[in-house]
């Protein structure tokens, strides 16, 4: 038996946001319809490395598998392993750093398409790294964006981000020097930072805005303050079950009764209409992204299919 091995370069050649967006939306809908299973991220560690594993299965997607990655002070290493859902045979081993970036952007795109006002045309981004780039790209795929503001602590990085993403997205991207300028008066706001303390204050968020919280998946990290939840009409997570383990953005709001778990909705259930989305143009809506294994597996399947069709990758004997 052989297994298809795909490098980061292979994935970059095959995977686009246009491929990832429908794959992620379809997978989330399948979760709501009990056609797919997502297991919250599991972690274990030594004194030098942490291992993270995200399993998922969807027979109608043609696979069962998991994403695994390790994190150390030197960085992170990611891969997805896919198995045949009938025989259990290993199908593919796929390097998944770029894949994970795109799938996280795609999840935001799916949530923004559902929750942001139809005419939303301006964006604020906190962060200027690789994930912030994917966030803006995905949003520009689901809304016609006229202008975006980017804030990060490093002026040179936000200038470079603005120049690159203006060209890539075909829209005006403006670097801003004050954090509130990435939120005030804007239709869609995204936090995509590594900060442990709030970078976004709820008082800055305009009535009717949609907010995507991306950067934290540890209980000790929060990118936003409690005021956002006091003002929000709707709070949605990609997985409420996983949010209870990882949503650091919720911790202070829950303690102060600005948020209750009973009011948090699962994005899959909102997508299929089990719960309503935005009720009015003045509502502030919030999407908390944790990053799900089912999203990784759904995108990885598309990459695998494209690789098989195009002859990409290397066959490994196992």
Residues 6+ apart with CB under 8 A from 141: 17, 18, 21, 109
163 flagged as catalytic: no
Secondary structure letter of residue 9 according to DSSP: H
Residues 6+ apart with CB under 8 A from 190: 108, 123, 124, 125, 126, 127, 132, 135, 136, 139, 211, 212, 214
Catalytic residue among 30, 67, 141, 240: 67
How many CA atoms, within 13 angstroms, populate the side-chain half-sphere of residue 34?
0
Which stretches of the chain are DSSP H helices?
A: 8-14, 17-32, 97-115, 130-142, 155-169, 226-231, 240-246, 248-255, 267-271, 293-310
The candidate with the shortest Cα–Cα distance to 150, out of 115, 193, 110, is 193
Distance between CA atoms of 48 and 38, rounded to whole angstroms? Answer: 28
Is residue 100 a contact partner of residue 291, using CB atoms and an 8 Å limit? yes
The candidate with the shortest Cα–Cα distance to 229, out of 258, 206, 255, is 258
Count Cβ atoms below 10 Å from residue 267 Cβ, excluding itself: 28
The values of phi and psi at residue 90, to 5°, are -70, 130
Residues catalogued as catalytic: 67
């Amino acid at each position: 038996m052989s297994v298809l091995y795909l490098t980061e370069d292979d994935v970059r050649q095959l995977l686009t946001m246009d491929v990832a967006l429908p794959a992620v939306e379809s997978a989330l809908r399948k979760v709501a319809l009990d056609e797919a299973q997502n297991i919250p991220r599991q972690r274990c560690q030594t004194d030098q490395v942490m291992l993270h594993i995200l399993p998922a299965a969807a027979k109608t997607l043609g696979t069962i598998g998991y994403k695994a990655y390790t994190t150390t002070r030197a960085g992170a290493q990611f891969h997805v392993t896919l198995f045949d859902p009938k025989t259990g045979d290993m199908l593919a081993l796929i390097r998944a750093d770029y894949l994970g970036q795109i799938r996280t952007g795609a999840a935001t795109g799916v949530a923004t398409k559902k929750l942001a006002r139809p005419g939303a045309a301006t964006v604020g981004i906190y962060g200027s790294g690789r994930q912030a780039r994917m966030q803006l790209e995905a949003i520009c795929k689901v809304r016609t964006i006229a202008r975006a503001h980017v804030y990060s602590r490093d002026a040179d990085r936000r200038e470079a981000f603005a120049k690159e993403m203006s060209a890539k997205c075909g829209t005006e991207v403006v670097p801003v020097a004050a954090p509130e300028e990435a939120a005030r008066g804007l239709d869609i706001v995204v936090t995509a930072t590594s900060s442990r303390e709030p970078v976004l204050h709820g008082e800055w968020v305009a009535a009717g805005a949609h907010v995507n919280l991306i950067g934290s998946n540890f209980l000790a990290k929060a990118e936003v303050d409690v005021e956002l939840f006091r003002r929000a009409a709707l709070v949605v997570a990609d997985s409420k079950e996983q949010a209870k383990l990882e949503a650091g953005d919720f911790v202070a709001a829950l303690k102060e009764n600005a948020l209750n778990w009973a009011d948090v909705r699962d994005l899959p259930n909102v997508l299929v209409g089990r719960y309503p989305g935005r009720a009015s143009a003045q509502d502030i809506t919030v999407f908390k992204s944790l990053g799900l294994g089912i999203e990784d597996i759904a995108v990885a399947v598309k990459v695998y299919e494209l690789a098989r069709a195009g002859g990409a990758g290397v066959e490994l004997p196992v």
